[in-house]
Chains A and B, each alone.
Chain A
């Protein structure tokens, strides 16, 4: 990874994240820290969608499906195995495999991107309605009762070498931040590899990518699977942050949220969606405490306004505004210099004429 301007900024962000991780528990209240774990989980989901949509050009309206599968798989496996190490692996694997199977049908079936959006959303909604029906005692996987719309209580994470020492809720914050930061670094690295650059090329022009010999189906499938795995990891943190996983994880509102984070933060950036997740979480919970306007209403308005007025999202718009402002400032400085020189020259001339 070379130290381009983007990578310098990425390094700054990673550093800020590390400092926040270390400092936050000393400054913030315990309640806030526990609450943060949930937001971090959502931010990881946002990161995964930012990767596959913003860089891979894959329009997935159901990224929460992999997030939810990660959360459910973790919970069920942790209940059955009694420790979390295998459960973590199984959860990430389950999310990745589900993404791979779904992706195979879509990419090798050459489904257009609009259909892809609808299919992924539909699959998520079907998972929602299926899991809501699992309330009877017959719906159990090993020792884990699925519990219908009440969901399942998630066992807490533990350190791999101490299976009977569950982490305290505040420690989940550290794990979550670690996953978020490592996930961010992996994504930033990935988009600069040959694989990542081909994925971006496919986003730009799929036919051209095929004509120069890339099997675009395979690249999209791989990207989609990686995105699914990251979302699954987010689901593990979510299950730990909330302490319970319910079918609501798959509902339409959450799918919409994921899309809105990326739209608001900006496609084609990694930090944008993450920031979008944080910002909207605090906006909606603040609105919730005010109790004046309905969250759906606000989110709906935000989505419409951004599509119509700020289609690139905040971060890219800000970056190009900043670049524009900087080059304008540079130009002004140059002009100023020229003008000063000129005025000096003309005043010299004036002096000359005076002398005459």
Chain B
């Protein structure tokens, strides 16, 4: 039995001047799925991600999240649907502490008491206890990424969208991040944009390959890596 489709794009296009960064993409995501979007640089996956999260208003086409038409909505309106978003460059509140960062996300949806307990739960869950009082701006890159993940998780979203969650991480940090992602996936549907093939292998999920603004192929990692077209555009072009 297949579960319900929760994210759908219909003929989604995003043009910058003459450049078709995303070109008539039809994309479906089912409930509880963990989907990776991959593709070489400039394939359009990040632009596609930004259209989903309201950071960009698409040139044409529709984004439908559950029954809600999310086309051209603002990020906070998308977030209000219960969508947690992590951007490519860590977007955190640099001047505030780790707890304060996570509390702000929890408090958006819950009363004071529940937000406090949710915050400490999240700090535990992501093993941020040692640095909970530190100012986020002074943390290492990988830790900042986790704080951002913490903010995503603390809101208890049913849909989680992550853009390159492992960028700039050491191997150990990547392993930890994979664990976190698997754990989040227990309760939430997920889309992860990534170009690190090893990372995707570790998550081992269904993969959508972007190329020149379109979907090239959509299948499991094994099938995708065996596909000659993928080898040509992705692996052949010097990608990792």
Contact = CB atoms under 8 A, between A and B. Distances in A.
Interface of A: 194, 197-198, 200-201, 203-205, 207-216
A204 B108 contact: no
B190 interface: no
B75 A207 contact: yes
Given A207-B75, A208-B91, A213 B96 contact: no
Contact of A201 (B53, B104, B109, B112): B104
B96 A204 contact: yes
Interface stretch (B6-14, B79-87, B180-188): B79-87
Chain A binding site: helix, strand, loop or mixed by DSSP? Answer: helix
A208 B92 contact: yes
A210 B74 contact: yes
B108 A214 contact: yes
B199 interface: no
A215 B92 contact: no
Nearest to A203: B95
A132 B110 CA distance: 52
Interface string B78-121: 01100001110001111110001001110111001000000000
B229 interface: no
A300 B76 CA distance: 41
B159 interface: no
Given A194-B107, A216-B76, A211 B100 contact: no
Contacts of A209: 93, 104
22 contacts: A197-B100, A197-B104, A198-B104, A205-B91, A205-B94, A207-B55, A207-B75, A208-B91, A208-B148, A210-B74, A211-B85, A211-B86, A211-B87, A212-B79, A212-B104, A212-B108, A213-B79, A214-B76, A214-B108, A215-B74, A215-B76, A216-B76
A203 B95 CA distance: 9
B76 A208 contact: no
A99 to B, nearest CB: 22
Interface residues of B, number: 27
B72 to A, nearest CB: 14
Contacts of A194: 107, 112
A208 B96 contact: no
A201 B87 contact: no
B95 A211 contact: no
Given A198-B104, A201-B104, A207-B75, A212 B92 contact: no
Nearest to A218: B76
Contacts of A210: 74-76, 79
Interface string B142-155: 00000010010001
B91 A213 contact: no
A204 B76 contact: no
Given A212-B108, A213-B108, A207 B76 contact: no
Contacts of B92: 205, 208
B117 to A, nearest CB: 16
A200 B100 CA distance: 11
Given A212-B105, A212-B155, 8 more contacts: A194-B112, A201-B93, A205-B94, A208-B91, A208-B148, A211-B53, A211-B87, A212-B151
Q: Which of B55, B86, B96, B104 has the most C-beta atoms of chain A within 10 angstroms of its own C-beta?
A: B104
B85 A200 contact: no
Contacts of B86: 211
Contacts of B74: 210, 215
Nearest to A215: B76
Contacts of A214: 76, 108
Contact of A208 (B53, B100, B109, B151): B151
Interface in B162-179: none
Contacts of A213: 76, 79-80, 108-109, 155
A209 B93 CA distance: 9
Contacts of B155: 212-213
Contacts of B80: 213
